[in-house]
Structures are given as C-alpha cells and as structure tokens.
C-alpha cells in the first residue's frame, strides 16, 4: 500500500484478531489485520459475506473490542482504553450510519438530529446538518413520511451533526435502489469534502469502490489487497 510519509493517519491496527465464542464453536472473524487508514480519505472495505468487514468496523469504531492486537485512532490506543474512555471516543470523534437507518419513529427529522446535537461538544445546528444532506424542507417530517433514501440522509445528518472526525458506514446503500443509492453516496462524498471527515464504507457493492481514495479487499478475516485509486469516479458515474 502506498502512503505518503507526511500523510497523518486516522487509524492504525497491528495484529488485530477477533475470535467469537470458544472451543469448537470459536469463529475467527479477524486473523491478524495490519492496516493504515490516512485521515481525510474515503475508504471502501469490500469482501464476501462473513469475511470480517463489520467486525473490523465495529472494533475501530469503538463498539467492540479485539481479542488480540492494537488499534490506534490518531495517537489514542483504543485497545487500552477503559469502557468510559471508549464511550467518550465514540461520542466525540465517530459517527455511524447503518443499512437500516435506525431513526426514532416518533421523532421528526429535525428531532432525530437534535438528539445527538444535545450531547455533543461542538455540534452543528440540526438545520445545518439537514441542509448538508439536502433535506431542510423535510425537517418536520416523521420517518414514516419519508422514502428510504431520505431516511438514510436523515441518518447521515444525525451522524455528521456532531462534526465527527470519522464517519463509519455499514452497507449505507444496501436497502436502496441505484438512483437513491447514488444520492446517498454523493452526500457521503460531500461530507468528506466539506467537513474533512474520513469516511469508511463497508459494502458488498463492488462498484462503490470506484469513488474511494483507497479500497481494502477483505477475505477470510484478512486483508487480501489494498488498492489506491489514482482516478476516482463521482457517484453519478458509478455503474450500479
Ligand atoms: N456476535 C457474533 N458472535 C459470533 N460470531 C459472529 C458474531 N459477529 C460476527 N460473527 C461471525 O464472524 C464472522 C465475520 O462476520 P462479519 O459480520 O464481520 O462479516 P462481514 O464481512 O461484515 O459480513 P456481511 O457482509 O455478511 O455483513 C462471520 O463468520 C460471522 O458469522
């Protein structure tokens, strides 16, 4: 993998291993992952189902812990942090976007975003976050009144409202058709460019790799290959 010597790192992992369960029932989800993710890039993680992508995302996102090995966010060693510190790491630095939006059905788009801005250190105004995803006019709508793509954009607004350093997206277009999926990918690209956030996208959709700075191919709990894209496509140029 080519990394410029001056490029600051968002993440570094060393010998990351994750085993779920024990004995005969043990599942080796990660088998020694050494990885470097430069700050400010869009990185796409590709791999077959069960290859360990979500496990890696959950560990570097501070939602889960490795069985062995180290993971650094900038100069912070996540693997040595107490649970409280890990919670603060997630609160202050990280935004998550999942396949199934996870919005509160009884709250409007604005209120769903506001939930996060109330506890963040230096949040955006919820209106500004909704504006960034092109949904200012839908601020007072409830999730059930919005399409899947719109709900996903509210979920992205919620994730970016705290101005995270990193945005983790697990199958963000998995439930969307190609047209809506492209709109969501364009929003992620805007977030990367306008907020400078590092964006990590886990997906089955190999075509998404064309918009990434760096593509990590995963197989059987290991990195098989890392490819740097010299030329990136825009989301509307991506073949679906
Ligand atoms: N909580 C868990 N308990 C036991 N095994 C688990 C758990 N979570 C994941 N696994 C197993 O770990 C392996 C890696 O799973 P993971 O979800 O990380 O893969 P993935 O590449 O993200 O797959 P997908 O693309 O289907 O989401 C799989 O064999 C999975 O069954």
- CA dist 96 and 42 (Å) reads 15
Predicted confidence (pLDDT) at residue 2 exceeds the cutoff of 70: no
Q: How far is the CA of 36 from the centre of ligand 1 (A)?
A: 22
Report if residue 230 sits inside a domain.
Answer: yes
Can you give the pLDDT at residue 226? 96
Could you give the number of structural domains in the chain? 1
Can you give the pLDDT at residue 239? 82
Predicted confidence (pLDDT) at residue 64 exceeds the cutoff of 90: yes
Report if residue 168 sits inside a domain.
Answer: yes
Residue 10: pLDDT band with limits 50, 70, 90: very high
- CA dist 33 and 221 (Å) reads 8
Sign of the dihedral through C-alpha 61, 35, 23, 82: negative
187-211 pLDDT tens trace: 899 999 999 999 999 998 888 999 9
Can you give the pLDDT at residue 99? 87
SS3 76: strand
Specify the residue with its C-alpha closest to ligand 1, atom 7.
20
Report if residue 12 sits inside a domain.
Answer: no
CA atoms within 13 Å, Cβ hemisphere of 185: 31
Q: How far is the CA of 239 from the centre of ligand 1 (A)?
A: 28
Can you give the pLDDT at residue 5? 53
- CA dist 15 and 68 (Å) reads 7
CA Rg value for the chain:
17
Report if residue 202 sits inside a domain.
Answer: yes
- CA dist 237 and 240 (Å) reads 9
Report if residue 25 sits inside a domain.
Answer: no
Q: Which secondary-structure segment (H or E) carries 58?
A: helix 53-60
Ligand 1: residue of 44, 47, 50 to mutate (most ligand atoms within 8 A of CB) is 50
Specify the residue with its C-alpha closest to ligand 1, atom 28.
50
Predicted confidence (pLDDT) at residue 61 exceeds the cutoff of 60: yes
Q: Rounded mean pLDDT of 14-20?
A: 97
- Is the ipTM of this structure higher than 0.85? yes
Report if residue 210 sits inside a domain.
Answer: yes
Can you give the pLDDT at residue 121? 82
Q: Classify strands 94-97 and 166-170 as parallel, antiparallel or unpaired.
A: parallel
- CA dist 237 and 231 (Å) reads 12
N-term to C-term CA, the chain: 27
Specify the residue with its C-alpha closest to ligand 1, atom 30.
50
Q: Rounded mean pLDDT of 79-85?
A: 94
Predicted confidence (pLDDT) at residue 6 exceeds the cutoff of 90: no
- CA dist 203 and 49 (Å) reads 10
Phi then psi for 45, rounded to 5 degrees?
-105, 115
**Ligand 1 atom closest to 56 (CA):** 18
Give the domain CATH number at 186.
3.40.50.300
For the chain, the average pLDDT equals 92
Report if residue 154 sits inside a domain.
Answer: yes
- CA dist 33 and 16 (Å) reads 5
**Ligand 1 atom closest to 202 (CA):** 22
218-235 pLDDT tens trace: 999 999 999 999 999 999
Residue span of the structural domain in which 134 resides = 38-65+92-237
Q: How far is the CA of 208 from the centre of ligand 1 (A)?
A: 21
CB of 20 sitting under 6 A from ligand 1: yes
**Ligand 1 atom closest to 58 (CA):** 18
CB of 26 sitting under 6 A from ligand 1: no
89-146 pLDDT tens trace: 999 899 999 988 899 999 999 999 999 888 888 889 999 999 988 999 999 999 999 9
Instruction: Please state the separation of Cα 54 from the chain's center in Å.
Output: 10
Instruction: Please state the separation of Cα 16 from the chain's center in Å.
Output: 19
Q: Rounded mean pLDDT of 58-78?
A: 95
Ligand 1: residue of 28, 53, 63, 173 to mutate (most ligand atoms within 8 A of CB) is 53
Report if residue 201 sits inside a domain.
Answer: yes
Q: Rounded mean pLDDT of 15-22?
A: 96
135-184 pLDDT tens trace: 999 999 999 999 999 999 999 999 999 999 999 999 999 888 888 889 88
CB of 25 sitting under 6 A from ligand 1: no
Express as a percent the part of the chain with pLDDT over 90.
Answer: 79
- CA dist 180 and 173 (Å) reads 8
Can you give the pLDDT at residue 62? 95
């Amino acid at each position: 993998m080519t990394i410029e010597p001056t490029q600051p790192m968002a993440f570094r992992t060393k010998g990351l291993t994750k085993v779920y369960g024990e004995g005969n029932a043990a599942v080796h989800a990660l088998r020694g992952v050494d990885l470097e993710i430069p700050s400010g890039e869009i990185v796409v993680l590709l791999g077959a189902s069960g290859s360990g992508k979500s496990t890696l995302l959950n560990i570097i996102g501070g939602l889960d812990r490795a069985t062995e090995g180290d993971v650094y966010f900038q100069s912070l060693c996540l693997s040595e942090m107490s649970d409280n510190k890990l919670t603060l790491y997630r609160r202050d630095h990280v935004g998550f976007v999942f396949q199934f939006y996870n919005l509160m059905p009884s709250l409007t788009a604005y209120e769903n975003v506001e939930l996060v801005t109330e506890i963040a250190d230096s949040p955006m105004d919820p209106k500004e976050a909704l504006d960034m995803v092109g949904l200012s006019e839908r601020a007072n709508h409830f999730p059930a009144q919005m399409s899947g793509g719109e709900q996903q954009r509210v979920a992205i607004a919620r994730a970016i409202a705290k101005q995270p350093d990193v945005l983790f997206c697990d199958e963000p277009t998995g439930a969307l058709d190609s047209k809506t999926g492209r709109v969501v990918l364009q929003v992620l690209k805007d977030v990367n460019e306008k907020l400078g956030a590092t964006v990590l996208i886990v997906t089955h959709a190999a075509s998404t790799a064309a918009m990434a700075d760096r593509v990590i191919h995963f197989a059987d709990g290991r990195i098989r290959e890392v490819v740097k894209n010299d030329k990136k496509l825009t989301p509307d140029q991506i073949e679906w």
